[in-house]
Structures are given as structure tokens and as C-alpha cells.
Amino acid sequence: MVEKGAEGDGVVILFLHGWHSLPGGVKPTYLRDHGHTVINPALDDDDFETAVRTAQEAFDKHLPQVVVGSSRGGAVAMNISSGDAKLVLLCPAWKNWGTVKSVRPDTVILHSRADDVIPFADSDELASKSGAKLIEVGSDHRLADPEPLATMLRACEVAG
């Protein structure tokens, strides 16, 4: 699913949704509504390797400037070959899925201390060992309130 933003000349973003989430949710819609082209493929919930293959195919086809991964989608994002694309990870579930245990230093991680699904400490550890930037934001795992949405948007636009 590819949705072009209103202006259509924004950043091209591959958005990888979380486990038992669907394309077209609040976060990718927010990015699209702010003028960005959002590629938002449906990822397999049951087979992680299939989800990674789907994400890799979408990346290779569209060559986005930014890859945003939310929760399990963050683990998927870490496990694809994304070249020089910037990673923006939202409460990444990297300890739960995949084999990659570090990210590039230009990665931005957003996470809420109040997350009751993925421990904040997981993102703190990932940022510390990778040199990535960890931003504490939001009041829950979803990061779908105005402040985390705006922070996600800024992280994506800095990459453009």
C-alpha cells in the first residue's frame, strides 16, 4: 500500500507496522497527511522471516529515504538491508524478534518509559550500544498521541 501525501514531494517513508497491526493506521496516516509518500506493506504476523522479506521487497522497489518501524516493525526494520536510509524506531521489539542487535548511530529511537509492552530499558540498551539517539516521548506503547506523532514526523523530516 503506497499513499502519497497532499503535496506529494515530501520524504519517501517505508512504514513497518507492529504485530497484529494493519497498514493505514494512525502513524502512517499522520506522516502521509503531512505531505510524505508512505509505503505501508502488510507484514505477516506469524512468520518473522516472511515479514522481513515483504519489507525488503518494498524497500528495494521504492528506495525510501526513511524506514520507520513500530514495535515488531522496528525489529523488521533492523533486519532488512536498508542502505543509507535513516531508521526511526518506535518502541522497537528487537529483543523479541530477529538477529540484529545494533543499529547505525544516526538511528532515532522513540520510546515511552510508561510502555507496558516493550520495556524502555530495551531501547536504552540499544541506543547505548549503538550510539543511536533515544528520545523519551509518549505515555504508552502506541505512541499515537500528538507529542509522539510530532516527534516521529520531525525525526523523519530531518532525514529528508
Res 3: pLDDT? 53
User: Which residues, other chains included, contact 38 with Cβ-Cβ below 8 Å and sequence gap of 6+?
Assistant: 2, 3, 5, 13, 15, 28, 31, 32
Taking the C-alpha atoms of residue 71 and residue 54, their distance in angstroms, rounded to an integer, is 17
Whats the size of the chain, residue-wise?
160
Q: How do the pLDDT tens digits run along the chain, 160 residues long?
A: 555 554 456 899 999 998 878 777 899 999 999 999 999 999 999 999 999 999 999 999 999 999 999 999 999 999 999 999 999 999 999 999 999 999 999 999 999 999 999 999 999 999 999 999 999 999 999 999 999 999 999 999 865 4
Just give the CATH number of 2-159: 3.40.50.1820
User: Which residues, other chains included, contact 78 with Cβ-Cβ below 8 Å and sequence gap of 6+?
Assistant: 69, 87, 89, 92, 94, 98, 100, 103
Query: Over the range 63-99, which residues count as b (16 or more CB within 10 Å of their CB) and which as e?
Result: ebbbbbbbbbbbbbbbbbebeebbbbbbbbbbeebbe
Res 48: pLDDT? 96
Res 10: pLDDT? 85
Work out the angle at residue 48's Cα, subtended by the Cα atoms of residues 43 and 51, and round it to the nearest 5 degrees.
30
User: Which residues, other chains included, contact 53 with Cβ-Cβ below 8 Å and sequence gap of 6+?
Assistant: none
Q: What cell numbers appear for 60 in the block?
A: 528495494
Taking the C-alpha atoms of residue 59 and residue 82, their distance in angstroms, rounded to an integer, is 7
- Domains of the chain by residue range: 2-159
Res 160: pLDDT? 47
Q: What cell numbers appear for 105 in the block?
A: 548511530
Burial of residue 3 (number of CB atoms within 10 Å: 0-12, 13-18, 19+): middle
Taking the C-alpha atoms of residue 110 and residue 148, their distance in angstroms, rounded to an integer, is 8
Nearest to 69 by CA among 46, 61, 96, 10: 96
